[in-house]
């Protein structure tokens, strides 16, 4: 008798032109308090190669004039932590309460990636963004060497002081976050 269960079939990827939400939908909500200039990333696992041509998100309530949500994807450093920037998907308008997408071109090979965004240019009134809070994530996130506090929730990681283009590498000095922007990807 085999020691392990038989291999399961690989999960399918959307066909060209189809959109997907790569994070679990166990708990969606909205937030106008993601933090101006705070990049929030959550892990996604791909079992097959996926080429994307759109990345987007949903603004559910307008922020102040000029506010945006900057979108991006990072590689993993091999220890369940964001590493190098693979895609700065640009911004969507934080003053337009709609679902919006940006045109991109990126091939993602099977593996672990980090997807998310940062509210920017909104020091007084942040846009309200559709978020995933407390998603079921595909791995155990490292929370550091200190004992986590009661009720700690980890959907991913956040990095403060992100203005303009996304940083080329994710900082080693960040904190866990319980919510991240719910982004959309479209298969090319």
> pLDDT tens digit string along 93-140?
999 999 999 999 999 999 999 999 999 999 999 999 999 877 777 677
CA distance 19 to 186: 4
How many beta carbons lie within 10 A of that of residue 8, not counting itself?
Answer: 7
Residues 30, 61 contacting (CB under 8 angstroms): yes
What does each of the 188 residues of the chain score in pLDDT, given as a tens digit?
556 666 666 777 788 999 999 887 667 889 999 999 999 999 999 989 999 999 999 999 999 999 999 999 999 999 889 999 999 999 999 999 999 999 999 999 999 999 999 999 999 999 999 998 777 776 777 777 677 676 666 778 899 999 999 999 998 766 888 889 999 999 99
- Judge residue 29's burial from the number of C-beta atoms within 10 Å of its C-beta, 0-12 exposed, 13-18 middle, 19 or more buried: middle
Strands 179-181 and 128-133: antiparallel
Q: Torsions phi, psi of 130, nearest 5? A: -70, 130
Residues 128, 59 contacting (CB under 8 angstroms): yes
CA distance 181 to 133: 9
Closest to 22 in 3D by CA, of 117, 94, 97, 103: 117
> Distance of CA 174 to CAs 36, 41, 123, Å?
15, 11, 21
Q: Could you please state the CATH topology (level 3) that the domain comprising 25-135+154-187 is classified under.
A: Jelly Rolls (2.60.120)
Span between the terminal Cα atoms of the chain, in Å: 43
Half-sphere exposure of 147 (CA within 13 A, CB side): 2
CA distance 88 to 34: 19
């Amino acid at each position: 008798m085999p020691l392990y269960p038989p291999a399961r079939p690989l999960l399918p990827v959307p066909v060209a032109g189809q959109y997907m939400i790569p994070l679990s939908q166990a708990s969606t909500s909205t937030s106008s308090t993601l933090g101006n200039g705070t990049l929030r990333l959550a892990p996604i696992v791909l079992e097959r190669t996926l080429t994307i041509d759109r990345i987007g998100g949903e603004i559910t309530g307008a922020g102040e004039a000029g506010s945006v949500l900057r979108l991006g994807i990072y590689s993993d450093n091999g220890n369940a932590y964001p590493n190098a920037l693979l895609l700065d998907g640009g911004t969507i308008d934080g003053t337009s309460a709609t679902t919006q997408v940006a045109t991109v071109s990126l091939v993602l090979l099977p593996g672990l990636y980090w997807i998310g965004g940062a509210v920017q240019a909104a020091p007084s009134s942040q846009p309200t963004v559709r978020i995933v809070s407390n998603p079921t994530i595909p791995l155990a996130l490292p929370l550091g060497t200190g004992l986590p506090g009661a009720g700690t929730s980890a959907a991913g990681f956040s990095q403060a002081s992100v203005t303009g283009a996304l940083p080329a590498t994710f900082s080693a000095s960040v904190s866990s976050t319980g919510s991240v922007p719910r982004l959309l990807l479209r298969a090319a």
